[in-house]
Structure 1
Amino acid sequence: MKPIRLPEPPSPTMGVPEIFENGANSVIRRAVVIGNGFPGSENQSLGLVRSLGLYDKHVLFRVTRPRGGINDWLHWLPISLHKLLYYIIRRIYSYLRFIASRRRRLAPLPSEKGGSVGLSSILEADSKRIVNMARESYEKDGPLLVVASGRDTISVASSIKRLASEKVFLVQIQHPRSDLSRFDLVVTPHHDYYPLTPQAQEQVPRFLQRWITPREPPDEHVVLTVGALHQIDFAVLRSAASTWHDEFAPLPKPLLVVNIGGPSCHCRYGMDLAKQLCTFLTNVLVSCGSVRISFSNRTPEKVSNTIIKELANNPKVYIWDGQEPNPYMGHLAWGDAFVVTADSVSMISEACSTGKPVYVIGSERCTWKLAEFHKSLRERGVVRPFTGSEDISESWSYPPLNDTAEVARRVHEVLAERGLRVRP
């Protein structure tokens, strides 16, 4: 009788069935993204989820503040308190209208989105919903990956971790300004720790220093990046190059792409920068085959109008009017060089992920953490200041910023330390 030959144990290189590992509950198969309604913030969470291979297996929840009117004065409050105060104010206003009109029935005023604002709209309801999702699907789908970004998502994300700590793995993007132990991992740029530098300590009055975040150096919970996370990688650029081929392939080279954001509290500018940009672009046109200009939704109308007036009639220049499909991805894929205003960490980070020349205008107007961000990019040789004397046909390169992939790699490492892994 021939001996019974048992099958060989699975090879590590071919993957180990879950039965040989810690069981089905050691595998993360889906994600929840908690956003705040701002593309620059949500894009970071979506970029990480994409890099982990879970983009097609995620659900987006959004925590948004009421906007307009008195809300512009309440935005500094924690979002739950902001919503509660807004609800109370609306109810009082509605009651006063009721008294004035002698109505018998009290009806809430419609919200900006057409619904009514009630206590159920306070964000704790979202945390409970996500916790229930994690608990109900744990046996079948394993732990839930939760990725949140932005100040307004902190309380709901940390509540989820507190209520279902063993069933979720929580990644908070951007420094949460709270106890880091409330999160499994915090992803934040180096310049978020600028307040700890001697230079920053000199800029902040002593009585305010204890309120400046962060107050301690990064610990094991923190993954530091150079810039912002995003969804741009070579696969995305290849796809965009194919999608926009017919429009961009015939353009004369080199193609200079100009991305214009808008002033912020740490990077203030107006007509002066617009006029300077027009002068510099006019100077470099001789070395350009084509120039494509795009504005963001934060660009002041007076800035965009000035640039349109000065450059729109030049045959080499095309300015996107915001009506046709957004060519942003096509610009990243087909652009030979980029000029980006200094206010946007996201647009600069995405341009620097291409490895192509990136020129920044307005960085000398930046202060505080944003100035530190630009300093770090210049020291790495990733960007150069736009002076108007550049030869755009001259190409130079650098190791592309790869923050999103590096953070995804760190997430895998931390999960492995806990006996977990991601399986799309």
Structure 2
Amino acid sequence: MSSTAAQNDQLAPSSWILTEPYAGLQSQALGLAEAAGLAPIVRTLKARFPWNYVSAPRWPWPLHAVERQAISGSVPGIILSCGGMAGAVGSALRAPSTRLVHIQNPRMAFSKFDLIIVNKHDEVTGPNVIVTRTALHRVTPARLEEARARWAPVFAHLPRPLVAVSVGGTNGRFTLDATVARTLGQSLAGMMDQDRVGLMLTPSRRTDPAATAALRDALEPRGAYVWNGENENPYFGMLALADLIIVTIDSVSMVSEGAATAAPVMVAPLPGRSRRIGLFIDQLVSDGRIRHFQGRYEHWPVAPLDDTAAAAQDMRRRLGF
């Protein structure tokens, strides 16, 4: 560790990450924390009955609405909250000695937070708001280089060009069930047949097992690698090794992680609609960083796009550490 890094570690305040138990939320907060030189304790929130049936911004006593062990102990100097429940709880814990930084639009009065970090497609601004072009994440050149060395032997048998496919799942805006996955699988299989590409695919925690099975049935007979959910997820290795990354449209986080690499990114369509995600995708398409997947391999010159480090630096400057 360099003397500067050691000094930063000594100066960095104690910190928590408050989120619900969702990998996407925790990844954003961890990415910000790592880029800022923080070493946070991750506190996972769970709502108590009957507050699990009430929207968190409407809780009159947020600290009594969640399981107590998640917020026990000495409150740290900085809390990074991500998600609606975390915003409500974090605002209740905020004090002169505890600064609160919220990731995403909290859907609450911005005055309840010291800083708020949002994406451009959230369409909000303010004196305590930091705006990024993409979601925060943990993809860094160092992490990619480490993953490339580790996973290159595992995928060495696959032909080049090599395509990494990241699959999300059904949410309140898009649908990815077995029927949709079958169509996507056929499109990916057609690309393998026509463009002679190697393919590696990883589902997410949100992916319906029936959808994963449909993708496996379409792709594995052609020699594709489909992660079976056992042992370590090769996700970072896939990002590091890919000549092209394809991501389903439901996940701003996965598109942002792909865009932080040196590979082109294509977005696979799903039935459904989201105005916010549409704005996000349209901007990156306009900038030339991503394209829509239409069943064929494409490659074009791109540069990594990542605002996580800049957001972390701005946060440190504003909070004075």
Shorter-chain TM-score bucket reads 0.7 to 0.9
Q: Secondary structure at the residue paired with 1:408?
A: helix
Contact 1:354 1:400 in 2 (8 A): yes
Matched with 1:179 is 109
The equivalent of 1:396 in structure 2 is 300
Residue number in structure 2 paired with 1:355: 262
2:28 to 44, 54, 78: 44
Matches within 5 A, 1:330-341: 330-341=237-248
Aligned residue in 1 for 2:281: 374
Alpha-carbon distance change, 120 to 145 in structure 1, aligned in 2, over 3 angstroms? closer
Contact 2:246 2:293 in 1 (8 A): yes
Q: What is the rounded CA distance, in whole Å, between the counterparts of 2:312 and 2:59 in structure 1?
A: 34
Contact 1:248 1:330 in 2 (8 A): no
Contact kept? 1:244, 1:330, Cα under 8 Å: yes
- Aligned residue for 1:406, secondary structure, equals helix
Which residue is 2:180 aligned to?
A: 273
Give 1:27 shift.
Answer: 4.2
Once residues 65 and 80 of structure 1 are traced to their aligned partners in structure 2, the CA distance between those partners, rounded to angstroms, is 13
Partner of 1:53: 37
In the alignment, what sits opposite 2:253? 346
TM alignment of 1:94-173, pairs within 5 A: 122=66, 129-131=73-75, 134=76, 144-161=77-94, 164-165=95-96, 167-173=97-103
Q: What secondary structure does 1:232 align onto? A: coil
Q: Which residue of 1 aligns with 2:16?
A: 32
CA RMSD, Structure 1 to Structure 2 (Å): 2.9
Q: Which moved more, 1:355-364 or 1:121-130?
A: 121-130
Say if 2:312 is the partner of 1:408: yes
Larger radius of gyration: 1
Name 2:149's counterpart in structure 1.
242
Give the superposition deviation at 1:235: 0.8
User: Structure 1's 312 and 49: CA in aligned 2 closer, same or farther, altered over 3 A?
Assistant: same
Any unmatched runs of 5+ in structure 1?
Answer: 1-13, 19-25, 85-118, 135-143, 194-216
Partner of 2:230: 323
Q: Check 1:269–1:127 CA distance in 2 against 1; reply closer, same or farther (3 A cut).
A: closer
Q: Any unmatched runs of 5+ in structure 2?
A: none
* 8 Å CA contact 2:81, 2:102 repeated in 1: yes
Give the total of aligned pairs.
Answer: 314
CA contact (8 A) 1:293 1:320 kept: yes
Task: Give the 3-state SS of the residue equivalent to 1:170 in structure 2.
Answer: strand
Q: 1:74/1:148 Cα in 2 relative to 1: closer, same or farther (>3 Å)? A: closer
Partner Cα distance (2:287, 2:215) in 1: 31
1:63 aligns with 2:63: no
Percent identity for Structure 1 against Structure 2: 28
CA apart distance, 1:320: 1.2
Shift of 1:148: 0.9
Does structure 1 conserve the Cα–Cα contact (< 8 Å) formed by 2:56 and 2:85?
A: yes
Aligned to 1:267, the other structure's residue is in SS state coil
SS at match of 2:30: helix
The answer to whether the 8 Å contact 1:186/1:223 transfers is yes
Q: Deviations over 1:156-178 (max 9, x none)?
A: 211222xx21x222211111111
CA drift of 1:123 comes to 5.4
Deviation at 1:338, TM superposition (A): 1.1
Structure 1 residue 44, shift from structure 2 partner: 0.8
- Measured against aligned partners, the alpha-carbon deviations of 1:196-238 in whole angstroms (never above 9, x if no partner) come to xxxxxxxxxxxxxxxxxxxxx4111111122211111101111
Q: Residues 184 and 81 of structure 1: is their aligned pair in 2 closer, same or farther, counting only changes over 3 Å?
A: closer
Amino acid at match of 2:79: V
Moved over 6 A (4+): none
TM-score normalized with structure 2 length: 0.87
Cα displacement string for residues 342-400 of structure 1 (whole angstroms, at most 9, x for unaligned residues)? 01111111111103111111167322212222112211211111101334xxx323232
Q: What amino acid is aligned across from residue 100 of structure 2 in structure 1?
A: L
